[in-house]
Amino acid sequence: MLKESFTATAEGAFMDDELSKLYEESFREIEEGQIVKGRIIGLTETDILVDVGYKSEGSISLEEFDDPSVLKVGDPIEVFLETVEDDEGFIVLSKRKAEKAKGWERLLAMAKEGDLLEGKVTRKVKGGLMVDVGGVEAFLPASQVFLRGFGNLDALVGQTMNVIIIKVHKARKNLVVSRREALLKERESMRHKLLDELEVGQVRQGVVKNITDFGAFISLGGVDGLLHITDMSWGRVNHPSEVVSVGQKLDIMILGFDRETSKISLGLKQLQPNPWEQVEARYPVGTRLKGKVVSLMPYGAFVELEKGLEGLVHISEFSWTKRPSHPSEIVKVGDEVECVILSVDRENQKIALGMKQMEANPWEAYVKEHPVGSRVTGRVQHLTEYGAFVELAEGIEGLLHVQDLSWTRRFNHPFECLKKGQEVEVVILSADPENRKIALSIKSLTPDPWPTIAGRFPTGTSVQGVVTKIAPFGIFVEIEKDLDGLVHLSELPVELPAHLKGRTRRKPQAPASPAAVEAADPQGQAVAAFLETQFKVGDTVQARVLRIDEEQRRIALSLKRA
């Protein structure tokens, strides 16, 4: 019927040799699943009619054509035979399946696993995307779409991209591709190209990819470089996020690179003038200026003089009179302070600053008013095992050494004659206002008696005295005001118990406190305890002078020989 109509309306136009050949080929054998040749014999609003030389025609939807407007009756066409005869007696044809089949054959002939192809994402499916590569739909798993993690698959539909074939199933005519592998291959190619182009000192544009505590990783297009926190700014940077942010584009300098390891070090501050250049000329020693405290350390405060240029005020340079244990007692971060340039070291990038130099040195004023030899009054601030610190004026202290307490008495520790808060009169022995040191003396309040002692107490002289102290090695007897002599154990008219004889007679070092005296020499304290049963402080005794050592300032006495 359609066949007769087709023959009548064609008026013999298609009964040429080519059509005869087409008929002959079609009538000989036609099977489902084959690609066959035919001609367009009719066009409707939705379909085209195709004669493939079979007893019935087939129809193909216009949706299978990219541009249906170019189709016209008489055009030859290759189609895929899906079904020889449907319920209405027509054969079922497909243009797309014919193209897919031909594309698959073409793809198998020229491509293999690992090849790079260009494809267009046609739609999203469960588990990934479908990509048209040369007329063949390939499956792109979601895990193979992005370099890291999973992104928005819908945004890729309709986009053209490069993919790499990772699996070919010939039997099922199935193709699996990877965009991730293509991106890796592209990045590797770019990396090699970039490394070949790099030169130290070169300036390139990069994008901040990631920020860490020690710096930022910058993408240079195929390879990443490290911008260390110390190369971000000439000034202080507490954290890289203060200077850069993720996604930021910036110009960066190549400081160094290793082609084998692909490690690249980058610099940002190198693109700015170095504030340390000509710093000596801009900040000569003695210059007075203002700066902002930017950091506090146990040993001092860092003060910003200009962007990228800081100086250190050492803790000893805050005040002439105060001795802070931490800079926070004097300043805080953000304070604007006035200071003086003390020294500049451009090579090591160090500037020493002083704040106390903004005021007159009170030590100099005090020493000028109280020169060496002056008698002054002060208050004991604290005691150490080597002496006592005496406050002479507000913030002005002097050291009263234990050896300068008395001409005639020997003290192991200043607590034996002084206590904290006690007011004392002293003589200034020496003064160093620059280093804030003043040496004091109590014994210098009176003349040195030792040149006359030997004449007043010749050897063999019998003297009467009072016991002032009992020690592990003997007793001290005052034979004149503030003049003590030592009666050694061997010159005492007593015999030690057997268990105390033969003890080491080494004099222990001065302890830090009275409580430590007993722990310093337990056996010696046992001897002293025995002597206390024989003698009492305040007892009057008769003694004989054995010898006087003016150089060592010692008097040896004997009770046995009295």
The residue extents of the domains of the chain are 2-99, 111-184, 198-271, 281-358, 362-445, 453-558
For residue 21, the model assigns a pLDDT of: 56
Do 2-99 and 362-445 come out as alike in CATH topology?
yes
Q: What is the pTM of this model?
A: 0.47
Report the percentage of the chain scoring pLDDT > 70.
85
| pLDDT class of 502 with cuts at 50, 70, 90 | low
CATH class of 111-184: mainly beta
pLDDT reported for residue 421: 92
Residue of 485, 409, 475, 489 lying closest to 454 (CA atoms): 485
CB-count exposure of residue 293 (10 Å: 0-12, 13-18, 19+): buried
Q: Does domain 281-358 have CATH number 2.60.120.200?
A: no
pLDDT in tens, 391-438: 998 888 999 999 899 888 878 888 888 999 999 999 999 999 888 899
Q: Residue 4 has what pLDDT? A: 42
What percent of the chain stands above pLDDT 90? Answer: 27
Least confident range from 3-7, 124-128, 371-375, 505-509: namely 3-7
Domain 2-99 has CATH 3.60.21.10: no
pLDDT at 506: 47
Buried b (16+ CB within 10 A) or exposed e, 165-193: bbebeeeeeebbbbbbbbbeeebeeebee
Token pair 């359609």 in the structure block, residue: 2
Beta bridge partners of 339: 289
The answer to whether the beta carbons of residues 465 and 477 sit under 8 Å apart is yes
CA-CA distance, 524 to 540, in Å (whole number)?
24
pLDDT digits (tens, 9 = 90+) for 202-247: 888 889 989 999 999 988 877 888 999 988 888 788 899 988 999 8
Taking every pair of Cα atoms in the chain, the longest distance, rounded to a whole number of angstroms, is: 169
What residue has token string 């020889």? 84
Place of tokens 């994008």: 207
User: Tell me, what's the pLDDT at 26?
Assistant: 46
In tens, the pLDDT along 91-118 reads 777 677 766 766 666 666 566 777 788 8
The CATH code for residues 362-445 is 2.40.50.140
The fold adopted by the segment(s) 198-271 is OB fold (Dihydrolipoamide Acetyltransferase, E2P) (2.40.50)
Phi, psi dihedral angles at 456 (to 5 degrees)? -85, -25
Q: What's the pLDDT score for residue 85?
A: 66
Look at residue 67 in the predicted model and tell me its pLDDT.
Answer: 81
453-558: CATH topology: OB fold (Dihydrolipoamide Acetyltransferase, E2P) (2.40.50)
Per-residue model confidence as pLDDT tens digits over 272-305: 888 888 888 899 999 999 999 999 999 999 999 9
List CB contacts of 153: < 8 A, sequence separation 6 or more: 124, 128, 129, 142, 145
